[in-house]
Copies of this chain bind each other. A is one copy, B any other.
Amino acid sequence: TTVDKGVDFANYFCTYAFLYHQKEMLSDRVRMDAYYNSVFKNKHHFIGKTVLDVGTGSGILAIWSAQAGAKKVYAVEATKMADHARELVKANNLHDIVEVIEGSIEDITLPEKVDVIISEWMGYFLLRESMFDSVICARDRWLKPTGVMYPSHARMWLAPIRSGLGDHKMSDYEGCMDDWHSFVNETKSYYGVDMSVLTKPFSDEQKKYYLQNSLWNNLHPNQVVGTPTILKEIDCLKVTVEDILKVQAVVSSTITKEDTRLCGFGGWFDVHFKGREENPAECEVELTTAPSVDDGTHWGQQVFLLHPPVRVNEKDEVDMNFSMSRSEENHRLMKVDLAYQIKLSSGKMLTPVSNKFYIE
């Protein structure tokens, strides 16, 4: 399955060509603080070094790398945003150090290998957008054997949650089906065509839309009703594309709240800046997108809703079988199989339930 470049641009890159979108990322203080601190509290990784910024966007990470003392920074950006990055570099007087290159990282050539690869490649629930593939490609082609990855590690998390969203979505779906039924009646009586054969496909389409799409949400920490579990741990220096094509995990969470509703699952990620074993960070920095009252990010969490929710109690166990792979139509989108089974604290096992979700 090779990717049509034009289609990929229409579906994916196009949004990054807008300053408005770059600004949204640049306004995410949690994200900005983490990258800023990772660079400026670990200047030893940058002083006199060569750096590659994969997907430089506005140029921000390349500029920081230069300000922290890099000798040379290659800032690669696939979209026309490269022109703005170049202006920004110039206006900040770093054009002797930062070289902005417009092109896909997969296509371009650098004159040398680099000491550091820095990139902000994380999508919703870490892997949506599949941009990490490009970072891996850059690493294999351009990172020195002794080089450092920024960030160096990443993890995916999943936890049982409660939420009122599911009820809303269900009533939206039901409203939409009521509407369909009037539509079928009217089309028959006014226009002599019986549309009822399409009721099933329409219902499937709307179910997918309202009930099976994962939702962006900024969860409150007290909506997390069970112990968070780790689905995947990634060492950015070693992972291969093969390793992230599919994420599979069998995990178990203990309900931590008394008499509550299990309404679904919340997924998030964190990344860490630790340098590498032989050349560690002086100050390790973490960027987490976990539910938080004050430190929400533009990534929020991805919520997978159950219809209907299930009553659970403290000490019940939720066994989860999670599997995520890429959508056939668009490799940057994901599909998820999420089966779960509840083991009551009494020891009784409830019937297992399987769900399909889409991260689109």
Contact = CB atoms under 8 A, between A and B. Distances in A.
A49 interface: no
B20 A206 contact: yes
Give the oligomeric copy count.
2
A345 interface: no
B197 A88 contact: yes
Interface string A1-37: 0001011011100000011100100110000100010
Most chain B beta carbons < 10 A, residue from A7, A92, A183: A7
A192 interface: yes
Given A10-B10, A183-B27, A91 B196 contact: yes
Interface in A79-120: 84, 87-88, 90-92
Contact of A205 (B20, B36, B88, B206): B20
B88 A36 contact: no
A80 to B, nearest CB: 10
A282 interface: no
Contacts of A11: 10
A23 B202 contact: yes
Contact of A58 (B4, B10, B198, B206): B198
Interface string A188-209: 0011111111100110011001
A67 interface: yes
A201 B23 CA distance: 12
A201 B7 contact: no
A27 to B, nearest CB: 6
B19 A201 contact: yes
Contacts of A36: 190-191
B209 A20 contact: yes
A198 B195 CA distance: 53
Contacts of A202: 19-20, 23
Nearest to A330: B10
A205 B18 contact: yes
Contacts of A191: 32, 36, 60, 64
Contacts of A180: 23
A187 interface: yes
Given A26-B183, A26-B187, A193-B60, A198 B10 contact: no
A180 B19 CA distance: 11
A336 interface: no
Contacts of A9: 7
Sorted nearest first, the 4 A-B pairs with minimum C-beta distance are: A91-B197, A6-B7, A10-B10, A4-B6
